[in-house]
Amino acid sequence: MAGGLTFGGKRELLARGLLWSGASFLLSQLPARDSLLVLNYHRIGNAEDDLFDPGVFSATAEQFDNQIACMKRRLSLVTLDEALAFINGTIKEKTRRCRVLLTFDDGYLDNYEIAYPILRSHGVQGVFFLATGMVGSCELPWWDRIAYLVKTARRRRFSLRYPAELSINIDKNGLTKSLNTILKAYKQPYNYDPARFVGELAEESKGDDPPATARRFLNWDEAREMSKSGMEIGSHTHSHTVLSRLEPERQREELAKSRAILLEQLGTEARALAYPVGHKDSFSSQTQRIAQETGYRCAFSHYGGMNIQGKTSVYDVKRTKIASQSRNRFQIRASICRSIGIFWP
22 occurs within a structural domain: yes
If asked whether residues 163 and 134 sit together in one domain, one would say no
If asked whether residues 146 and 291 sit together in one domain, one would say no
pLDDT digits (tens, 9 = 90+) for 301-332: 999 999 999 999 999 999 999 998 999 999 99
**69: CB partners within 8 A, 6+ apart:** 122
From the list 25, 120, 18, the residue with the least C-alpha distance to 345 is 18
What pLDDT, on the 0 to 100 scale, is given for residue 29? 87
Mean pLDDT computed over 75-91: 96
What pLDDT, on the 0 to 100 scale, is given for residue 4? 38
If asked whether residues 121 and 263 sit together in one domain, one would say yes
If asked whether residues 130 and 198 sit together in one domain, one would say no
268 occurs within a structural domain: yes
Counting Cα atoms < 13 Å in the Cβ hemisphere of 39 gives 30
Q: Residue 93 — pLDDT band, cuts 50, 70, 90?
A: confident
If asked whether residues 185 and 304 sit together in one domain, one would say no
Q: How far apart are the first and last CA of the chain?
A: 19
CB 80 within 8 A of CB 272: yes
Mean pLDDT of the chain: 95
Mean pLDDT computed over 121-127: 98
Mean pLDDT computed over 118-127: 98
Write out the residue range of the structural domain in which residue 201 sits: 142-205
Domain boundary among 189, 205, 221: 205
The C-alpha atoms of residue 141 and residue 134 are separated, in whole angstroms, by 8
Domain boundary among 173, 205, 237: 205
CB 77 within 8 A of CB 71: yes
Question: Phi first, then psi: what are they for 121, rounded to 5°?
Answer: -65, -25
pLDDT digits (tens, 9 = 90+) for 167-187: 999 999 999 999 999 999 999
Question: Phi first, then psi: what are they for 116, rounded to 5°?
Answer: -60, -50
Residue 1 has pLDDT above 60, yes or no: no
Residue 5 has pLDDT above 60, yes or no: no
If asked whether residues 134 and 160 sit together in one domain, one would say no
Q: What is the number of domains present in the chain?
A: 2
Q: What is the CATH number of the domain that holds 313?
A: 3.20.20.370
Residue 260 has pLDDT above 60, yes or no: yes
From the list 116, 86, 118, 112, the residue with the least C-alpha distance to 101 is 86
Mean pLDDT computed over 255-273: 98
What pLDDT, on the 0 to 100 scale, is given for residue 7? 67
300 occurs within a structural domain: yes
**80: CB partners within 8 A, 6+ apart:** 101, 125, 127, 232, 271, 272, 298
If asked whether residues 91 and 186 sit together in one domain, one would say no
Secondary structure (DSSP) of 291-323? HHHTT-SEEE--S---B-TTS--TTSB--EE--
49 occurs within a structural domain: yes
Whole-model pTM over 0.85: yes
Residue 3 has pLDDT above 80, yes or no: no
Burial of 49 (0-12, 13-18, 19+ CB in 10 A): exposed
CB 59 within 8 A of CB 320: no
What pLDDT, on the 0 to 100 scale, is given for residue 94? 79
Q: How many helices (H) and strands (E) does the chain have?
A: 14, 12
pLDDT digits (tens, 9 = 90+) for 188-231: 999 999 999 999 999 999 999 999 999 999 999 999 999 999 99
Q: Which of 85-99, 215-229, 250-264 has the lowest mean pLDDT?
A: 85-99
Tell me what percent of the residues of the chain surpass a pLDDT of 70.
98
